[in-house]
Structure 1
């Protein structure tokens, strides 16, 4: 790539005091996360990502703010919509969820867009500068052209996280966990040898905001296009693919009770395959997204309430181990035990009627 093509973007970066790099699914596809992180580390620029880019970012890194969007992290959204004086968006299409309702605060003067697909360079938002380039080449060129550039991004990330904490768990039901508690325990348990495959549904919004992943392609979700239940079988596909690549690891499937019922027979297939696979069910006995939508409009929950299925007996009948979980301590113990090997179903009782707070992009 010719440095002249980058000149406008480089000029804007040099003048920016509070830049932010926003990574999208295009970066995940390009496979250039290492180059992006290395440049951010040398330049001291905070990183955020879309939900689909959650798979590439180590959310324990001091420069990583986490996912943006309607159900992203508060600090990351504040940086995107308010605090950053320049946003370098690489491989980002700015969907309704990513932009938190197509916020007007993502105007052209604050935005530099980079994409290999020219159609994406002005999709939904115009920008002050566009760069038609592969993400890997873009970050490699930045590393050379801005070798002397340095900002204190780690301090900014720490300050933003301190000033804008995310929603905390508030208990309203005995013997049921708040979804945030489940996500925090999952985060504490994850390591670099565990892949997370998330289904879709209301619980996934909690997962986006509160499960902190380790990057390296260890988080997978078919965002936007995946139907409920796809991850219940997809997790077995991930384990099989890793095995064929001679990679020994565990796979954790996160799903709701509605999604699990749509793909539960795959547990028997996983048992036959000898998989190391855990299905963790956020069981609130309802189709959460639809229940919230119905409740806001005064409709009956007759179509959104799920029956009290005995998932433990169901799993046992298919040859898997299973545990009913009703407390945080029990979940820590059960999850650590389950991840040691074999097929396990964890039926976790979570509170119902508690949708995650949606970030409003129009601040």
Structure 2
């Protein structure tokens, strides 16, 4: 016979779990004791359950394997809610384990007790209360299977105290070997025919292509056909953005250079589209007085989720890399394809952005900041963005060379995830440079995790973009004609704040000083925080683009 909590740990070990992130409580003590004897799984004690959830989700994002996090009942479980939604919308495999009071005999009434299983229902793929220790192997296997199955997401298991202490003769289940199905040959042929007959096809690379790691096959397709490509924010880096056929990233909702390039296409090959992202283009229904617009080909592991602006004409469903290989093998490049107009929009964006990147004013101008960060980051360096107006700047202007080197959240778009995400990246890849880029508002939502980063001995640079306000909402407030009110605040002395945790604190005093600090911290060990005063005053003028006045080529 085996104690149930020991069996739970054995099941997680069988699944290849390496870490459990969390804040244990009284109801987790049996589980914690069993975990202490594991030779495979390491407990990462965080300072808040939300930080633990963000770290577990980021582990899933990087590896494709399930990240695991732990909390107690009641307030511990409720603190997982934002992280659960973050993983669920963002397609990151994660398993949350929460404790609960005894379910067979209660001695404390309803103290701290919430129906956590029902609470987790709308924001997870699977949620279950363990009512019998004999079911632990099958429930753990199912939770992890569903977390990793396309589309990946969050799962949850509640382990009550009395169940954790039971004895059972159950044993762990072995994970099955699974491969994604291949696309149907007729759908592949229909897609090939449509692309060959098009005048100006274009590739749009979305979130699902990043999860499926399609980089090599997409590059081969682009090299064979010469068809230009753009990305969504969650598709950044799938194909090296230094490629001459790269058109840009859809960081704004509409009207940007890259959207004009898409409008010049008559056939959009949409790879790994996920409706959680802001659409990179808008479809329209054909009416008597309006053309239907371009043909849209949906290539993904899942059929298209239709909404008012997305209803594709052809769907190729199966493993994305294999589907692209089939299309690449079958397609005959059309010598009549025209891409000059699309590429001219990309050149217009480069011409527009390059002078802005040289603007060395102080406080720091966002395009200058993006260029400075790109210049110091190695090819495999990882930047992890929190949520704010600067996310648009980095999505548009930061050239991604490899998959998962630009981690941003264009799904839940929550504040507070930047630092924990960077911490997880630094743990997984200690040989690579990792940088968290956070607004002052988002950073303070989980700034306590600096202690965790220092305790773990991580090598990490944290940029705090300081404008003493919730800057993105303040910008929108002004754009919508409201008075400037209710969004400004004061900040701590960030240098002293970092030092109080045992980290190194720095404050930028000029544009040149920013470059110097970025270089110095990259060559140093430990956790470095750099406070960067920023100037968002010209967001309007730069992001609201009149392309006709900016490019003589169009």
Q: TM-score range by the shorter chain?
A: 0.7 to 0.9
Q: For 1:148 and 1:134, how far apart are their aligned partners in 2?
A: 23
Q: Secondary structure at the match of 2:356?
A: coil
Give the deviation of 1:122 after TM superposition: 6.5
The answer to which of 2-11 and 23-32 deviates more is 2-11
Q: TM-score, normalised by structure 1?
A: 0.86
Give the deviation of 1:96 after TM superposition: 6.9
For 2:522, the equivalent position in structure 1 comes to 339
| 1:155-304 to 2 correspondences below 5 Å | 158-165=343-350, 166=352, 169=356, 175-243=362-430, 248-304=431-487
Q: Secondary structure at the match of 1:141?
A: helix
**Cα RMSD after superposing both structures:** 3.0
Query: Contact 1:235–1:277 at 8 Å: present in 2 too?
Result: yes
Query: Contact 2:419–2:443 at 8 Å: present in 1 too?
Result: yes
Query: Contact 1:73–1:209 at 8 Å: present in 2 too?
Result: no
Match of 1:326 among 509, 523, 539: 509
Query: Contact 2:214–2:238 at 8 Å: present in 1 too?
Result: no
Go from structure 1 to structure 2 and tell me whether the alpha carbon gap of 1:172 and 1:143 turns closer, same or farther (over 3 Å shift). Answer: closer
Q: For 1:236 and 1:119, how far apart are their aligned partners in 2?
A: 34
Q: For 2:535 and 2:313, how far apart are their aligned partners in 1?
A: 45
Q: For 1:103 and 1:3, how far apart are their aligned partners in 2?
A: 26
- Can you list the C-alpha shifts for 1:66-95, whole angstroms capped at 9, x where unaligned? 2124268943222112x2221100111356
Residue 265 of structure 2 is aligned to residue 78 of structure 1: no
For 1:311, the equivalent position in structure 2 comes to 494
| 1:41-52 to 2 correspondences below 5 Å | 41-52=223-234
Give the deviation of 1:3 after TM superposition: 3.1
Give the deviation of 1:198 after TM superposition: 0.8
User: Could you list the runs of 5+ residues in structure 1 that have no partner in the other structure?
Assistant: none
Go from structure 1 to structure 2 and tell me whether the alpha carbon gap of 1:122 and 1:136 turns closer, same or farther (over 3 Å shift). Answer: farther
For 1:9, the equivalent position in structure 2 comes to 191
Q: For 2:268 and 2:397, how far apart are their aligned partners in 1?
A: 23
For 1:97, the equivalent position in structure 2 comes to 278
Give the deviation of 1:152 after TM superposition: 7.8
Q: Secondary structure at the match of 2:234?
A: helix
For 1:351, the equivalent position in structure 2 comes to 535
Residue 192 of structure 2 is aligned to residue 18 of structure 1: no
Go from structure 1 to structure 2 and tell me whether the alpha carbon gap of 1:227 and 1:128 turns closer, same or farther (over 3 Å shift). Answer: closer
Query: Contact 2:423–2:458 at 8 Å: present in 1 too?
Result: yes
- Can you list the C-alpha shifts for 1:98-127, whole angstroms capped at 9, x where unaligned? 336x46599554322222222436673223
For 1:59, the equivalent position in structure 2 comes to 241
Go from structure 1 to structure 2 and tell me whether the alpha carbon gap of 1:119 and 1:158 turns closer, same or farther (over 3 Å shift). Answer: closer
Q: For 2:242 and 2:445, how far apart are their aligned partners in 1?
A: 33
For 1:36, the equivalent position in structure 2 comes to 218
Q: For 2:256 and 2:304, how far apart are their aligned partners in 1?
A: 29
The answer to which of 325-334 and 194-203 deviates more is 325-334
Go from structure 1 to structure 2 and tell me whether the alpha carbon gap of 1:67 and 1:94 turns closer, same or farther (over 3 Å shift). Answer: farther
Q: For 1:53 and 1:239, how far apart are their aligned partners in 2?
A: 21
Give the deviation of 1:139 after TM superposition: 0.6
Q: For 2:243 and 2:465, how far apart are their aligned partners in 1?
A: 27
Q: For 1:266 and 1:154, how far apart are their aligned partners in 2?
A: 48
Go from structure 1 to structure 2 and tell me whether the alpha carbon gap of 1:154 and 1:127 turns closer, same or farther (over 3 Å shift). Answer: closer
Q: For 1:297 and 1:249, how far apart are their aligned partners in 2?
A: 42
Go from structure 1 to structure 2 and tell me whether the alpha carbon gap of 1:104 and 1:69 turns closer, same or farther (over 3 Å shift). Answer: farther
Q: For 1:159 and 1:93, how far apart are their aligned partners in 2?
A: 28
Query: Contact 2:242–2:401 at 8 Å: present in 1 too?
Result: yes
Q: Secondary structure at the match of 2:429?
A: helix
Go from structure 1 to structure 2 and tell me whether the alpha carbon gap of 1:2 and 1:337 turns closer, same or farther (over 3 Å shift). Answer: same
Match of 1:87 among 265, 268, 271: 268
Give the deviation of 1:350 after TM superposition: 0.7
Greater Cα radius of gyration, structure 1 or 2? 2
Query: Contact 1:189–1:336 at 8 Å: present in 2 too?
Result: yes
Q: Secondary structure at the match of 1:208?
A: helix
Q: For 1:228 and 1:211, how far apart are their aligned partners in 2?
A: 20
Could you say which structure has the greater relative contact order, defined with CA pairs below 8 angstroms and 6 or more residues apart? 1
Q: TM-score, normalised by structure 2?
A: 0.58
User: Could you list the runs of 5+ residues in structure 2 that have no partner in the other structure?
Assistant: 1-182, 286-290, 547-554
Q: For 2:314 and 2:232, how far apart are their aligned partners in 1?
A: 20
Residue 330 of structure 2 is aligned to residue 145 of structure 1: yes
Give the deviation of 1:61 after TM superposition: 1.7
Give the deviation of 1:292 after TM superposition: 1.9
Give the aligned length. 354
The answer to which of 112-121 and 56-65 deviates more is 112-121
